[in-house]
Structure 1
Amino acid sequence: MKHQINPDLQRERDNCSFDIAELTTIIDGSPEKTKERKEREECFLVSLSEGPSTAVPEEYLSHKEKYERGLHSSCYIFKRIRKWQEEGKMNINNYRYVIGGILSSSLVRDGSVFGLHYIMFMPAIINLGSEEQHQTWLKRAWTCSIIGTFAQTELGHGTFIRGLETTATYDPDTKEFVLNTPTLTSYKWWPGGLGHTSNHCIVVAQLYTAGKCHGIHSFIVQIRDEDTHMPLPGVKIGNIGAKLGLNAVDNGYLALDHVRIPRMNMLMRHAQVMEDGTYVKSRNSKLNYGAMMFVRVVIVFDMLNYLTKAVTIATRYSAVRRQCQVKEG
């Protein structure tokens, strides 16, 4: 049966005072970007229709089932991404469109378990890592041979970043950092993908060298075995449980009990720790916040997209909803 447009809705569209195609181009940025967006949407929405069954509404699934469906859907979608990679169509910006905003909410309504891998883990390495660290980590992250997340927020510290209690103390004898969460309130809390999915994460901690604190810095920490996926020694990790939304994103907690990592696992584009423990200060300490500031902008951008979706639904509904008997004219 051919799809019929509600006559009231069609009447509203016919009475529109502006050119819809022109406004669409303005919002997208250019005719080329509109074309690119529609190609991307067509590709991935077809992928969704061929993917895992969604016959049972998410509201009827258990917390575990929501995560498993989200993981299944995300893996299926990323098969498409791999294909686009091979065809040279995929860049980091396309990843953001696929796992954030309106397209993401159509593909994985309750969020993608790989969201923080592409929105935070990789951008943090790009923005805070040295060229050598790019060579070491980005290829592995880009091909998903490792799955990462970003662990900044603590149970007792949200946006009060200077108050973070997790420590990273440099040991010049072994040329390692020792990461520790000394209190319950220092447990990393909320990172998406941490509960079950990730095997690496960027941990934001207070840097100590030679007994002196140099403020927060970022460190790449392996948290699970790459083959068995079991937590590594000194790592306590798990899922924080059911939430109001985004239950497919396995937000987790992380505690570190004197976990040692190599010196080069500190992201050192802006500030460095030399082998002897000498600290080289960044020319601007605010650059250490760069990865999180980038994500704050992404969140605002995504909220704009979600609000446009809500307004569209409300506007269409107001055009067709009847409160009383329909009379001609």
Structure 2
Amino acid sequence: MSESLQTERKNATFNIKELTDTLNGGPEETRKRKQIESLVFNTPAFHRQDRFQLSREEIYDYSIKVYGELIKLCKKENIEIRYDNPDYVRLVGCIPEEIPVGLHVGMFSSSISDQGTEEQQKKWIPLARNFKIFGTYAQTELAHGTFVRGLETTATYDESKQEFILNSPTITSTKWWPGFLGRTSNHAVIAAQLYTKSKCYGIHMFIVQLRDLKDHKPLPGVTIGDIGDKFGFDTVDNGFLRLDNVHIPRENMLMKYAKVTPEGKYLPPTNAKVAYSAMTLIRVVLVRGSAKALASASTIAIRYSAVRHQTETAPGKEPQVLDYVTQQYKLFPQLATALAFGFAGNYMIDTFNKIHSEISSGQLDALSELHGISSGLKAYTTDTATAGIEVCRRACGGHGYSNACGIQHIYANVLPCVTLEGENTVMYLQAASKVISTIKRLEQLRRSGMDQDEAWNTAGIELVQAAKAHCHYFIVKNYLRSLEKLNMTPSLRKVMNSIALLYGNYGIDENAGDFLESGFMTGEQLNLVKAKILQLLSEVRRNAVAVVDAFDFDDKYLRSILGAYDGDVYNRLYNWAKSSPLNKTEVHSSYTEYLQQLLKSKL
């Protein structure tokens, strides 16, 4: 154990386990989480020491193996595989890989359960839960992502055969990016423009079989494959899909809300936005995911900064990097943000469950509210977390460039979140339509002669800024309210209050121009904010390692040499280097084949 980390933990002013229990929702929740995690951490199949030295094909094969092990483990432990089962969520959450079960259990199954009739649910949900079929959710196309209404895939009803005929009429209508589509899934819920009696009724959802259940080969009319290497999510086979006159029964249109009768008559839903409830679920999950990712990166960077000593400040005295105020200013706001987003994620999950139950019972009044707040917070948390994770990586110095750091993997899997399930600028604009302060600007533009769409576009920058400010305000407010509701010892409350105040003051400092421009604060007041931040950095310093310890990430989950619990960084780095495939032989084959010839040549 690193002496530096031992000292950090010894000097903490609060009980680490108390904070762990607080973040988990109580001691019993911590016990359940650790019990579930032990099932994963004690199963060798879920871990490979050479994970970062595999090719993309090897990584995909490994993820499918993990997929099978996960299903067997759930069956053995009697854990129901449902996206709303807390034990299942805990289990998947401690596996340090994105595995193909994600969209199958999530958007594929939830779309059917949320938008399918009772008959459709009885048919399809048991098949999905028992893994008799593997499904995904195919919405995004080559030329259209966030603009769902612009999707080009068509589903035309043939009343003589009582079938829908699905087509990809153009190259740009090719389904592109759906996870687990390229090689894994044999079914998909597909978003397509519904046509019946020569009239288009907009986007609706259809269950489509893509591959043969016996040999997994694509069915007639189905062209499907993997889209190739990406930045992150290398275990996931994001795919492309084209449909050429693919026939499905009328009953494969999800008809809980909108319906097409056997005669071809269209019966509309009460609220057209119910078709997008699956996307809302993922946006809610991404808020909590952003918190966990930033907490993981903060853990690595803060532990390493406590172990690493750098630059003599006096003869024989080389301080810990964490003692430098500049390092604290980089890392402690990221720690505070991770906690703030964690509380925001809890709020969003509770809100989603409440509103989702109302939607299921036919009450659709709160759907727009859920759409707006999930859009804004998804954008704000993924943007902020992505930037914060990179701050943590850079704060690790030169070793932060190595995959041994572990932050690269976190960053690569968070970065896609700023565009998936809605590109963030568009998400901000959707959230902005809830911000009253933007209305005046829009009214001015309309009075100048602009129509609604033109005015909205012209005010776009201000709208995004307003949405960001609203989201930031919401998170600060929720952060403080959440702390007020928690039962904590005075010592822990003092630490948590300092971190919360750091988050709030740092946000003001980072956006000082807005506060000055609006006249809400003066330059003198902003100087007081800067002074307060310095005070709070000093207060947080003593407990920083203990706070990240309270996140309770297992080393097998973090997969970081720099951020391991024992802090034995340099031995681990040396052994990591020796295990590189390039070091398997004393002389690499490239020497004999190329370098030796160059040395002997007369060039």
Distance 1:11 1:177, change over 3 A: same
Identity of aligned residues (%): 47
Structure 1 counterpart of 2:69? 76
Deviates more, 1:193-202 or 1:25-34: 25-34
Distance 1:150 1:90, change over 3 A: closer
Contact 2:51 2:59 in 1 (8 A): no
Query: 3-state SS of the aligned residue for 1:269?
Result: coil
Please state if 1:11 is matched with 2:11: no
Aligned match for 2:35, one of 36, 39, 60: 39
Aligned match for 2:284, one of 297, 310, 320: 297
Distance 1:89 1:211, change over 3 A: closer
Question: 1:89 Cα shift?
Answer: 6.1
Contact 2:162 2:250 in 1 (8 A): yes
Aligned match for 1:178, one of 142, 159, 165: 165
Question: 1:270 Cα shift?
Answer: 1.3
Distance 1:52 1:310, change over 3 A: closer
CA offsets 1:243-266 (integer angstroms, 9 cap, x no match): 111111111100001111011111
Q: Which amino acid aligns with 1:69?
A: Y
Q: Which amino acid aligns with 1:84?
A: E
Structure 1 counterpart of 2:57? 64
Structure 2 counterpart of 1:222? 209
Higher helix share: 2
Counterpart Cα distance in 2 of 1:149 and 1:90 = 15
Question: 1:126 Cα shift?
Answer: 1.2
Structure 1 counterpart of 2:122? 135
**Unaligned stretches of 5+ residues in structure 2:** 320-603
Counterpart Cα distance in 2 of 1:305 and 1:130 = 35
Contact 1:95 1:118 in 2 (8 A): no
Question: 1:52 Cα shift?
Answer: 6.7
Counterpart Cα distance in 2 of 1:181 and 1:257 = 6
Aligned match for 1:104, one of 95, 102, 127: 95
Structure 1 counterpart of 2:135? 148
Deviates more, 1:198-207 or 1:21-30: 21-30
**Unaligned stretches of 5+ residues in structure 1:** none
Counterpart Cα distance in 2 of 1:285 and 1:260 = 25
Question: 1:104 Cα shift?
Answer: 2.7
Higher strand share: 1
TM score, norm. by length of structure 2: 0.50
Mapping for residues 1-329 of structure 1, pairs under 5 Å: 5-47=1-43, 49=44, 51=45, 54-58=48-52, 60-85=53-78, 91-92=82-83, 93=85, 94-99=87-92, 101=93, 103-105=94-96, 108=97, 111-324=98-311, 327=317
Counterpart Cα distance in 1 of 2:131 and 2:26 = 32
Query: 3-state SS of the aligned residue for 1:253?
Result: strand
Contact 1:97 1:104 in 2 (8 A): no
Distance 1:160 1:89, change over 3 A: closer
Counterpart Cα distance in 1 of 2:227 and 2:137 = 15
TM score, norm. by length of structure 1: 0.90
CA offsets 1:90-111 (integer angstroms, 9 cap, x no match): 5533333333x4x132xx2xx1
* Structure with larger Rg: 2
Q: Which amino acid aligns with 1:25?
A: D
Query: 3-state SS of the aligned residue for 1:217?
Result: strand
Aligned length: 314
